[in-house]
Structure 1
Amino acid sequence: MDRQVGQTDRLRVARRAAERLALPAGLAVALAVLVAVFYYPVGSVLVEAVVRGGRLTAGPLLAVLADPFYTGAASALFADPLSVPSGFVTWLRAGLPPVEFGLFGFTAYQAALSTVASVLLGLPGAYLLSRFEFRGRRTLRSLTILPFVLPSIMVAVGFLAMFGRNGPLNTVLLSLGLGRVDVLFTLEVIVVAHAFYNAPLVVRLVTAAWETVDARRVESARAMGATPLRAFRDVVLPQLLPSLLTAALLTFVFTFMSFPIVLALGGLRLATVEVWLYARVQDLALAEAATLATLETVVTLSLTYLYLRYEARQVRAGSNISLPRRPLLDGVRTLADPARLGLLAYGLLALVVFVGPMASMVLASVTDAGGFTLDYYRFLFDQQVAETAGTTRPLPAIVNSLLFGAGTLLLALPIGVVVSVVATRGGRGSRLAEALLTAPLAVSGVVVGLGLLQTLVFGTVVMGHRLTATGPVAIVLAHAVAAYPFVTRNVTPALGGLDPHLPDAARSLGATRLRALLDVELPLIAAALVAGAAFAFAISIGEFDSTVLLAEGVDSYTMPVALERYIGNRSLGPNLGPATAMGTVLLAVTAASFVVIDRVGGRWER
């Protein structure tokens, strides 16, 4: 009997010891995974750009920076700095002729234009959601998560369908007696597509800030004689600027790294750094690709660091009295109110920009010159049963996407939870740890894919043994790296919003830190966990940047990769129908994840 009691006690002590070590061990495992599948692959790309023949050198970087193709007029700063003053004087004397930006300059230019367009399109939406009440307002606000759910290559297909020569836009223009417009493969359509993706981000961030404006301060300004415009300028606008600048900075980073949108709508003629980097990898110019990846990563990491520093200095003090919302539709008063009429016009514009591409894609998948047709879906079926080598079959793409999504979920969810625990309960240094653990947000998928290709896929020698990862394994790892920061973004606010006395009470009753997390905290934020899981799954389903580099053969290509192949398959001619059919299938699969985010994630959102 005493022996059994002693064994029970030893088991209890061992179990408690294991529970105490579980969280540190989980953090260690998460760090090990990130080192193996993110920091080491990306680091290998960066090292290749500055190491030649075993020696550290800045030669490759300087060669790119001094090349006018990459840096335009700024190349003189690196090729011949002493000639810059005289060159500047010559430029002034010539009457300020146009200056070549180069690849990096054009990338920054299109990102700046896309940021301006996103802000201009997003601000009226933020005003609408924060200042007016109407049926469907909460659902409309939940739709602002679209940029993180819809696969970008699918959005590109929607824009190709909508703005094509025989698309809905030109059909409407011709019915009105106007001529066709040809905007495909222009900078303008790329900017609009970027605004499709990033304007909802502006709406989401600015709406949250607008809803925390203290109504008492506005009322005080009005009582002191300020006009509504003056009260907005002096009281409301200063409180909106931090969120607006944050949204603009994030939009610039995202559009600077944009890849599928530019690849599909611009190609090499309007190539950005990301598209040209992909082209260099396709041409097996890996050394040049590594140099470009290094310079791009330095730019994006620097901008992300500025964003994190700026965000950390903002004080988010809530208000018990927020600005009241007015009814949007108020009878005759609606027709007499310029603001309401302007918002109704904005609603029509937003409907065209945000709903038009997806509706155009679905419509194009079931119509041709003769009307309704299912030929494009029959084409997908024919591709499925074809025995021709190299055929892109839709069913394996769907199955692969679902399997990779499940594998991503198994990796991204625990890593995201561990990072959230570190961020909210880590104490000193937790912010630095969170920044390091969310670094994948600032590194493009193409760079991650290139790093994984050079290390895990081609193989890495460890203690005399070459370790390799097959395409599917490498893809799941790349997807997990891209997805877990979004799990963290969902879980961290919910975990941080819990009463800290709850886990403390569990600890005082003898529970270990792990037991308090599993039994008390995680059940209370179950909705946030499910939302984070849905995000991870949806991001995996739509991930294209790294997948297109790592996918080879029938065992690893996914729906977005298959979609891109249908777009670029010249044997299909100019017909976009098969691509729209595949895009509609991808939309249907992605919609399931979005429904989960909308129905579950909204329950805990504040």
Structure 2
Amino acid sequence: MISSPSFRSIAGFTVKQALLSTFLAMIVGFPAAVHYARSNGRLSRLLGITTYIPFFFPSISMAIGFLAVYGRNGLFNNLMSFAGLERVQILYSLGAVLLGHVFYNAPIVILVLGNALRSLPTDVLESSKIDGSGRIRRLLRVELPLVTPAIINSALLIFTYCFTSFAVVLVLGGAQFATLEVSIYMNFRLLAAPQNAVVLAAVQFAFIMVFGLLISLSEKSSPFEHGEQYLEKNRLTGIYSWIFVLFEWIPILGALFSSFYDWTRKEFIFERITKLFTEKIVLLGTGLVNTLVNSITLSFLAAVVTVTIAFFLSWQARHTSRGSRYLRIVSLIALSVTPSILAVSYLTAFGSFPVPLLLVLLYIVISLPVALNYISGQVIGAELAFLEAAQLDGASKLARVWYMIIPFFRSTIIYAATVVFAISMGEFGGSLILGSKDFPTFAVAIYRLNGSRYLLEARFLSSALGIIIISVVAISRWFAQRPERSSRSTP
């Protein structure tokens, strides 16, 4: 299969769209990253919240949001028609795929590059300013060379996410723009060619391992201590950043607002949304409430198990000289396995296992790197001298764990569990392959509703799911950053 023209076409398109998406996302996100680094006002905080989108906003919610805003009968074309202009076809094209990837990945530039620029020492920037360097010259000659690793790291991250993209390509582009990830799903579920899916999964795994190694090599801690932030107002980057925030949030909020009103029938649909939760939907094989409860239960179980594993590994790494290196290897292996690859592997090796069990295992593996990265950062460097004192006083190991270690890392555990729960609730690609007709997850249920006569209801559910997940993660993050005791530094 690897030597076939169809494979070369799919692999070539996968690389092509990932390169184009990465370039555009870097360009679009760069001015906003600069503004985020040099300001600390309301807009800067909004940009910070926007960085949650690539990691926590469900991909299916994003795709349906784009359908609601940029579709043939979406908000954008309705405004065009109202202004007397012709409607334009945006979706189901390469441009739609690129637009979706820019939306989803440009905030990564703010997160990685923006924070790197923030960490630059003020004395270096002030010295450059005193020497007569203007803003642009200082940015190009001083700041960007100092944060080159962050630029490379953000580009590699975005390329990897675009290379393995599933929902954006499947929903916004369609089957004619199949990537390796989409082809794995199509061969396994639609074309009844599991052997081809396994080959594609193996090839993609090899690619991602290489990307993961490159990302790992590019991840260098900043040589500068995080001191006082260098502030500098810039009206142009401020205006651009407001436009950027609108670009990011309109598909999210627009889909929610448009879901309450049927523009074709000129009527509100509150009653139709209510019926979703009170009637059994043949398309789903069960009621929507059961689907929601099942997804919450599986996501909760995955969060408990994943955080337990991550904390145990981090605690062991704390007492090992090469612990951080071992954790990085574990994270790299887990990151190299996409949900589609995992789903195909599970069904091939454990096809007789219950679907809920396979889904929980899927969620654990895909969220473990994130949980490990956060928990290990808090555990390995923590000052825990009081544990030695408690041990000398005769406290048992169980007592030290239950009454000291867990309370001390309470906010860390809660935040990590919330993140895992959010990732699990929004996971789509692997769940679509694993899920049976009678056991769809909430994200898969939204996708099925969107492909039927429940289009507006799917918009409402997808937007509500995305907003709730981001809100819960943001609140949990705020809780985790609160100082719990004077003897402990904020995580």
* Alignment TM-score, normalising by the size of structure 1: 0.74
1:363 aligns with 2:300: no
Cα distance in structure 2, aligned partners of 1:449 and 1:483:
14
In structure 1, the partner of 2:120 is 213
- The amino acid across from 1:167 in the alignment is G
- The amino acid across from 1:544 in the alignment is F
Count of equivalent residues: 482
Match of 2:6 among 69, 72, 76: 69
Q: Residues 389 and 435 of structure 1: is their aligned pair in 2 closer, same or farther, counting only changes over 3 Å?
A: closer
Q: Residues 591 and 144 of structure 1: is their aligned pair in 2 closer, same or farther, counting only changes over 3 Å?
A: closer
For 1:142-221, what aligned pairs fall within 5 Å after superposition? 142-221=49-128
Cα distance in structure 2, aligned partners of 1:390 and 1:522:
40
In structure 1, the partner of 2:378 is 494
1:299 aligns with 2:225: no
- The amino acid across from 1:70 in the alignment is F
Q: Residues 588 and 138 of structure 1: is their aligned pair in 2 closer, same or farther, counting only changes over 3 Å?
A: closer
Shift of 1:300: 0.5
In structure 2, the partner of 1:119 is 26
The answer to whether the Cα contact below 8 Å between 2:273 and 2:457 also exists between their aligned partners in 1 is yes
Q: Per-residue displacement from partner, 1:251-299 (whole Å, max 9, x unpaired)?
A: 1111111111111111211111111111100122111111111011000
Shift of 1:248: 0.9
Q: Residues 228 and 121 of structure 1: is their aligned pair in 2 closer, same or farther, counting only changes over 3 Å?
A: closer
Match of 2:456 among 565, 577, 584: 577
* 3-state DSSP of counterpart to 2:429: coil
In structure 2, the partner of 1:34 is none
In structure 2, the partner of 1:529 is 413
Tell me which structure has the larger Cα radius of gyration.
1
Cα distance in structure 2, aligned partners of 1:223 and 1:591:
42
Shift of 1:497: 4.0
Shift of 1:301: 0.8
Match of 1:406 among 280, 295, 300: 300
Cα distance in structure 2, aligned partners of 1:479 and 1:68:
34
Q: Per-residue displacement from partner, 1:101-148 (whole Å, max 9, x unpaired)?
A: x11111011111111222122222221221013236345414412222
Q: Per-residue displacement from partner, 1:326-356 (whole Å, max 9, x unpaired)?
A: 4x5xxxxxxxxxx4134213312431x2111
Cα distance in structure 1, aligned partners of 2:406 and 2:224:
25
Q: Residues 119 and 509 of structure 1: is their aligned pair in 2 closer, same or farther, counting only changes over 3 Å?
A: farther
Match of 2:339 among 434, 445, 449: 445
Shift of 1:227: 3.9
1:560 aligns with 2:468: no
- The amino acid across from 1:344 in the alignment is I
Shift of 1:224: 4.0
Match of 1:270 among 177, 193, 202: 177
- The amino acid across from 1:431 in the alignment is R
Cα distance in structure 2, aligned partners of 1:585 and 1:135:
24
The answer to whether the Cα contact below 8 Å between 1:531 and 1:601 also exists between their aligned partners in 2 is yes
1:548 aligns with 2:432: yes
Cα distance in structure 1, aligned partners of 2:145 and 2:460:
47
- Structure 2 unpaired stretches of 5+: 484-489
The answer to whether the Cα contact below 8 Å between 1:392 and 1:565 also exists between their aligned partners in 2 is no
For 1:371-450, what aligned pairs fall within 5 Å after superposition? 371-378=267-274, 380-381=276-277, 384-385=279-280, 388=282, 391=285, 393-428=287-322, 430-450=324-344
Cα distance in structure 2, aligned partners of 1:258 and 1:294:
16
Cα distance in structure 2, aligned partners of 1:119 and 1:557:
36
1:596 aligns with 2:467: no
The answer to whether the Cα contact below 8 Å between 2:47 and 2:245 also exists between their aligned partners in 1 is no
Q: Residues 420 and 159 of structure 1: is their aligned pair in 2 closer, same or farther, counting only changes over 3 Å?
A: same
Cα distance in structure 1, aligned partners of 2:245 and 2:274:
33
Shift of 1:377: 1.1
Q: Per-residue displacement from partner, 1:401-456 (whole Å, max 9, x unpaired)?
A: 11111111221110111232344442125403432245222211000001111122
* 3-state DSSP of counterpart to 2:51: helix
- The amino acid across from 1:255 in the alignment is C
Shift of 1:319: 2.9
Q: Residues 320 and 531 of structure 1: is their aligned pair in 2 closer, same or farther, counting only changes over 3 Å?
A: closer
Q: Per-residue displacement from partner, 1:162-208 (whole Å, max 9, x unpaired)?
A: 01122111122233333211101111121121122212222111122
Shift of 1:365: 1.5
- The amino acid across from 1:583 in the alignment is S
In structure 2, the partner of 1:332 is none
* 3-state DSSP of counterpart to 1:133: coil
Q: Residues 69 and 536 of structure 1: is their aligned pair in 2 closer, same or farther, counting only changes over 3 Å?
A: same
Match of 1:343 among 222, 227, 238: 238
Shift of 1:323: 4.5
Identical aligned pairs, as a percentage? 27
In structure 1, the partner of 2:359 is 475
- The amino acid across from 2:175 in the alignment is L
- The amino acid across from 1:372 in the alignment is F
The answer to whether the Cα contact below 8 Å between 1:186 and 1:265 also exists between their aligned partners in 2 is yes
Shift of 1:524: 3.1
- The amino acid across from 2:472 in the alignment is S
1:324 aligns with 2:207: no
* 3-state DSSP of counterpart to 1:415: helix
- The amino acid across from 1:582 in the alignment is L
* 3-state DSSP of counterpart to 2:225: coil
Q: Residues 308 and 248 of structure 1: is their aligned pair in 2 closer, same or farther, counting only changes over 3 Å?
A: same
Shift of 1:521: 4.7
The answer to whether the Cα contact below 8 Å between 2:47 and 2:110 also exists between their aligned partners in 1 is no
Comparing 193-202 with 104-113, greater Cα deviation is found at 193-202
The answer to whether the Cα contact below 8 Å between 2:260 and 2:268 also exists between their aligned partners in 1 is yes
Cα distance in structure 1, aligned partners of 2:152 and 2:318:
25
- The amino acid across from 1:380 in the alignment is L
